[in-house]
Structure 1
């Protein structure tokens, strides 16, 4: 919707027939497309036809289907992109590709993508699928945890007990900042690079969620203080320097 306001012609895919009309009502040309290990169903070629740029924002979905091969799915999608008019791909990934560490290092785009969870490994593999393809230019955009419209962070932990990592730093980003950063990359044609994006403030989990729950009169989470905390700090210095972007939402 934001891109449409800025003069872009936008197509959008959905896996749900019920959402076709929802997309159409806001000015998005809708296409029914679903991707699984068995192949791509729907109108993927029509969706890509006559378009110059593609934003890919598909979660691996391993919670619902832990056996899914997300990398294979992205390889299949790549073949369709290769035979299309797409010249630039913006692949939305996650800062989960970086492993947490007891030393809590500052993570930059130069840091190794060393995440060990099943989801992280799939995301790392998917990033490589696009970065290694010379048929189009790819920029990888790794977001921190999403907050904003419909995602109140206070409710993530409110009332929970025995919460781990009390001293671990948080790496969150507001939806409006996500959209603005995507728009900035498109407008300024920043291709063949990587960006990490999280709000510049990184309070500890205990400090942030305790304060947030208090401010909203919600039950305060109880943290496990007996073990060591680990984590990471996602630096958005490159986003601020290269994109000249100022974050709209502070934590």
Structure 2
């Protein structure tokens, strides 16, 4: 662990739902934070809300030099945009990431980089899935993420890859995923693989504060209730009905994140308790 947080300066590329929560937590810890938004309005709003320096960064356009001045850590929380770019997702995503590495070309060996990835890279693999499990991407987004993971490994020796399970939390209450909608829960006997926002943030913070956390880590709650049980309870908490539960999925993947726990990660809502969700 580092001893003096005030000496750390963290740049966050992708200050959306997760990145903004991270920025707030880092500011609360007393770290210096540079945060990027894609619009002037977004930059101004962020700068007014938090004690940080906000910038406009529109990748793959060049990153403003001031954004990277003096930073010790770079956190990349940029989504690949598979629904938008479809077959071109990998090309577009890699283009954005290359703009980042070009801007950091003078410090690739020293910069600590944390890349926010996804457990979607494991595809429909069955059974227990840990960091040694082979990736098997099946979507435009997950294929792009695997390509970028490999590219970043070849560029930044001090890289941490955090593969996040499905994210829930403020504005993403799981009761609304299926509740009140004209869609059934498919493979309702499959285990859920989820992580609450606050616990995702602490995982990133641990990677920032502990210089020994390098390589790949899964980030997922320890609890894996069935989709039937979890989404049924979540929708019920909001007094919403679910159209139907379709059977199947008993042997589907369960994400194991013991490696990160062994490094010191202690999630607060490891049991995915509906009444403890911060929403």
Describe the SS at the equivalent of 2:82. coil
- Aligned partner of 2:240 among 218, 236, 247: 218
Give, in whole Å, the separation in 1 of the partners of 2:37 and 2:27: 18
2:80 matched residue in structure 1: 60
For residues 148 and 228 of structure 1, do their structure 2 counterparts lie closer, same or farther at Cα, with a shift above 3 Å needed? Answer: closer
Give, in whole Å, the separation in 2 of the partners of 1:82 and 1:119: 26
So what's the TM-score if we normalise by structure 2? Answer: 0.81
- Post-superposition shift, 1:164? 1.5
Whether the 8 Å contact between 1:196 and 1:235 is mirrored in structure 2 is yes
- Aligned partner of 1:118 among 135, 140, 154: 140
Whether the 8 Å contact between 1:147 and 1:174 is mirrored in structure 2 is yes
Structure 2 unaligned blocks of 5 or more: 1-23, 273-279
- Post-superposition shift, 1:42? 5.2
List 4+ stretches of structure 1 deviating above 6 A.
none
Relative to its length, the structure with more helix (as a share) is 2
Does 1:98 find its partner at 2:122?
yes
Describe the SS at the equivalent of 2:46. helix
State how 1:148-187 maps to structure 2 within 5 Å: 148-159=169-180, 160-187=182-209
Whether the 8 Å contact between 1:170 and 1:233 is mirrored in structure 2 is yes
1:141 matched residue in structure 2: 162
Measured on the aligned residues, the alpha-carbon RMSD in Å equals 1.8
Describe the SS at the equivalent of 2:241. coil
Whether the 8 Å contact between 2:191 and 2:250 is mirrored in structure 1 is no
- Post-superposition shift, 1:91? 0.4
